[in-house]
A and B are shown apart, each in its own frame.
Chain A
Amino acid sequence: MKNWPWAILAPALLFVLIGLFAPLIMTHDPGAQDYGALLTGPSGAHWLGTDYLGRDMFSRIVGGARTSLVAMAFVLLAALAIGVVIGSFAGYVGGKTELVMISVIDIVLALPSLIIALALMGVFSGDNFTWMSDYWKMIVALTMAWWANYARMSRAVVVAELQQPYIEAARVMGASHLWIFTRHILPHVLGLVVVYASADAGALVLAIATLSFLGLGVAPPTPEWGQMLVDGMSYIEEYPSLVVIPGLALTAVVVSFNLLGEAFALQKVPRAVRGRFLTRKKVARAAEESARKEVEA
């Protein structure tokens, strides 16, 4: 990580900080309605103006950052944990158990994750699930749709790592399965999966906003960017800023996470990963080559 472009972390870090300290940054209560100041432009009192209910846009954007960040962190951690456990178990055990588990993973991956999350939101709207709030429904739905990618990745790493001679050496020396797994294999799995997750965070922020945009995510009183955007669509002709401001915030966050992902991809990432990561590896190779050419020139 010596030559790693640390500056690229800054935008993503900024988002995390804004989300964490949102209550301190907000100038108004994001839910407070002021009928004396409907749809006003930027001013000293309201830095980004107000929306159709007189709510302070700046505070709602900051509050939306917190909503996205918290939901994203929950889903990412849960999906990662579930995926790593299932995937590495399948890879370590092998045989028929592995085959069955891979099949399940492949079936889940037969549909795009967002479609699965949407369908689950429909299922959770049934009478059996009234005990969950909409916010938690969304988190659970996204987690159930998101784990499979991590499981497939973890399994690939475990299978590749098990073929290394040092594992055999450890076994000969009498190491238990638990020891081999936690000491030798898990670090490799986590190393890769965490890197992937940091780049995946952008896709997840986007998914959260898309669910809310479609009216199937975070419920109204909570400030959320996708929902602010869909609310603003009704006023798009006279007040396009209601749409543009949350849209820009969302795009900025996704760009910053994608930049992070690209920076990670340009470094050497562990081998033995298929699918999406293969193209990233090619990016890496291409970048190395262009760097070499620049040095030569």
Chain B
Amino acid sequence: MQRMFMRRTGLALLLMLAATALTFWLVTAAPGNVAALIAERAAGAGADGAMIQKIADDLGLNDPLPVRYVRWLGDALTGDFGVSIRTGKPMAEEFSARIPMTLTLLAGGGVLALTLSLVMGIAGAASNGGVVDRALHGMALVGASTPNFFVAALLVIVFSVWLGWVPTFGVSGFTSWLMPWFTIALFPASVLARVVRVNLQDTMSRPFATTGFAKGLTRRAVLLREALPNIAIPYMTTFGAQFTLMIIGAIVVERVFGLAGVGSFFIEAIRFRDFIGMQAILTLFVVFFVSVNLFVDLLAMLADPRLRRPRKA
């Protein structure tokens, strides 16, 4: 088991390396840009070829790509992600200012998605084909199909413009977080509610559930005590995948509500051609995705001994 853990962790680290190398290669595929942009920033329109050349030399932009990647990696491992071309501040500083905002968004959204999906899924399974079940199915379908920026816009129209309960812009206090949280939670909650619903129905038709009924347990008891623990693994796996996808929601939500998080920085970096900033944020994303997936896999392995056996290739 320990060996499987180590193996899986090693693979994840390799994947991180490879993925950052890929993004590094992509982002630097527009050569000359970085030096020219920095020169432009420093000297306005007066930047000439010599100055651009000097900056390129100083930053080692003329070295071969592998050399640059290794140097970048060495810096990144010590927490140095370079200086943002757009803001002129070190990326490490930007990170410490912006990561808490995005993490608050993801954590709140994650908790909300978890709660909503479990409530919806269990209510659906309890109703089993009834009106509640069908209504929840419809809601989940619409929830999984509505673009998150439209969800955000609708929330603003109803709760800010019509009712005037929460400010349209920025965050101050708990209530103003509710709209951003709900916006990013709706899609994962809808998908996860389906997972809960379908898997619960699956387990309810297994022999052990029938045994539960035969013992005289009520439907509710079988559902909650016998069936529910069995959906933990598919639920966990899907939750992990959906949680990582919530970063896309975070990008959109940060734009709509004007939050200074990592996502809005990413979009600004792309628009400004801040390649250093882009690479830093992409690295952050890669680390986030790969480690969430790793964590979910390890949890699943802990919970289900069958997954611990090495698979035959």
Chain A's interface: helix, strand, loop or mixed, by majority? helix
Question: Is there contact, CB below 8 Å, between B271 and A126?
Answer: no
Per-residue interface assignment for chain B, residues 220 to 251, with 1 indicating a CB less than 8 Å from any chain A CB and 0 otherwise: 00000000000000100010000011011001
Question: Is there contact, CB below 8 Å, between A216 and B271?
Answer: yes
**Number of A residues, CB within 8 Å of B:** 54
Per-residue interface assignment for chain A, residues 119 to 134, with 1 indicating a CB less than 8 Å from any chain B CB and 0 otherwise: 1111101111100000
In the complex, whether B57 has a CB less than 8 A from a CB of chain A is no
Contact stretch, chosen from A39-47, A82-90, A169-177, A202-210 = A202-210
- Give the size category of B's interface with A: 35 or more
In the complex, whether A74 has a CB less than 8 A from a CB of chain B is no
Contact stretch, chosen from B139-147, B210-218, B295-303 = B139-147
- Residue ID in chain B nearest A262 by CB atoms: B141
Selected from B145, B245, B270, the residue in CB contact (under 8 A) with A112 is B245
CA distance A279 to B194 in the complex (A): 10
CA distance A120 to B26 in the complex (A): 8
- Residue ID in chain B nearest A253 by CB atoms: B145
Question: Is there contact, CB below 8 Å, between B154 and A247?
Answer: yes
CA distance A107 to B147 in the complex (A): 27
A262 neighbours in B (Cβ, 8 Å): 141
In the complex, whether B286 has a CB less than 8 A from a CB of chain A is yes
Question: Is there contact, CB below 8 Å, between A125 and B289?
Answer: no
CA distance A111 to B247 in the complex (A): 10
In the complex, whether A282 has a CB less than 8 A from a CB of chain B is yes
CA distance A136 to B47 in the complex (A): 31
In the complex, whether A69 has a CB less than 8 A from a CB of chain B is no
Residue pairs across A and B with Cβ atoms less than 8 A apart, 17 shown, are A107-B19, A120-B26, A125-B273, A128-B30, A128-B31, A213-B147, A214-B251, A226-B149, A229-B153, A233-B153, A237-B161, A240-B161, A244-B153, A251-B145, A251-B150, A282-B198, A282-B202
In the complex, which residues 25-65 of chain B have their Cβ closer than 8 Å to any Cβ of chain A? 26-27, 29-33, 36
- Residue ID in chain B nearest A278 by CB atoms: B234
CA distance A108 to B144 in the complex (A): 24
